[in-house]
Structure 1
């Protein structure tokens, strides 16, 4: 490595550290005034009492909704900045159980059928369990949250190879329009308006960063039935 390359690398490390510190400070310190705005809105509502105009109350609810959304975005930004600093522990997990645990904590599983394909030499593996759980949960939650049909089918396929696991989460939902597929891994981007689907738009960005941290690759492809297929490989430790 030349002196110039070494200097560039050192500067990059410093800039990365400064950026992470900036993101932490901004996302952490903004939460306090946001909570204050929400509390003040509630107090004003209480002061107005039962005689308040419905239009005013609707505006207060809209204001609190926007504050809550911004608070969630700040939390997501903080989580993204700390991906490579938290929950890095290696421990043994049972892969089918890990998938079932993710499904168990999903908010809304009504009218959802889950389909599993496991091709595993050993169901247990030592890995960054919390990170893998975060990825699987995010993809399952994403598949359900953006589904457009009353009856939903979610497919999970995990194949064990010599050096990694090929993991695929797919659905029979609306899929993602071709003209926006290159944007879906960007922080805060959502295909649908945030007023239509309650989402920060940070899930895929965080998921992508976790997979890169683990040494894997992540990609989206459209399903044959117009649904979505998210596929990634998770290297063995």
Structure 2
């Protein structure tokens, strides 16, 4: 390593530390005043009692929703900054069971039908289980949450290769407009307004960073008729 490369490496370490400290301050210390705003709003509602104007109560409700969303975004930012430092335990997981567990955790799956295709030599793998679960849950949640039809079809396909698993999540929803598909992996970006679909817009950014950390690949392609296809490769080692 040359002297110039060594200096750049040292500066990168310093910048990374400063970034992590900044993220911690933003995502941790700001939570207290945000919660105070929500609490004060609730106290004012209670003081007004039954005589409160409906429009005023609606505005209080919107204020609390905005505060909650901001807190969720701060939590997501903190999670993104800690991808390579938290939940790094290796343990054995069963892939079909892990998929089913993620589906059970979804809170908006009532009108969704899931279809599974597994081509596996072994269902079990020793890996960063929490990280794989995070990616799977995020993609399944997006497939259901952003769906625009009454009946929602979600397809899960897992193929085992020599060195990795190729996992594909497909839906028959609205898809992603061609002009914004390059933005979907950016932190906090959402195709729909956050007032239309409640989401922080951080799931794909966190998933992308996790997959990159483990040495995998992640891509989006539009489905043939409509919908989205998210494919990622998860290394066995």
Check whether TM > 0.5: yes
Quick one: distance in 2 between partners of 1:110 and 1:14?
A: 48
Q: TM-score normalised to the size of structure 1?
A: 0.99
Classify the secondary structure of the residue corresponding to 1:62. helix
Deviations 1:90-127 (A, max 9, x none): 11111111111111111121121111111111111111
User: What is aligned with 1:228?
Assistant: 228
Quick one: distance in 2 between partners of 1:108 and 1:48?
A: 34
User: What is aligned with 2:146?
Assistant: 146
User: What is aligned with 1:198?
Assistant: 198
Quick one: distance in 2 between partners of 1:124 and 1:231?
A: 20
Q: Aligned Cα RMSD in Å?
A: 0.7
Classify the secondary structure of the residue corresponding to 1:47. helix
Quick one: distance in 2 between partners of 1:103 and 1:53?
A: 41
Quick one: distance in 2 between partners of 1:210 and 1:21?
A: 20
User: What is aligned with 2:101?
Assistant: 101
User: What is aligned with 1:9?
Assistant: 9
For residues 117-132 of structure 1, the aligned pairs below 5 Å read: 117-132=117-132
Deviations 1:18-67 (A, max 9, x none): 10121012101111100000000011111111111111111111111111
For residues 1-237 of structure 1, the aligned pairs below 5 Å read: 1-237=1-237
Q: TM-score normalised to the size of structure 2?
A: 0.99
Quick one: distance in 1 between partners of 2:2 and 2:210?
A: 31
Quick one: distance in 1 between partners of 2:197 and 2:158?
A: 29
Quick one: distance in 2 between partners of 1:118 and 1:54?
A: 53
Which runs of 5 or more structure 1 residues have no equivalent in the other structure? none
Deviations 1:172-215 (A, max 9, x none): 00000000001000000000000000000001001101101111
Aligned residues: 237
Which runs of 5 or more structure 2 residues have no equivalent in the other structure? none
1:168 shift after superposition: 0.4
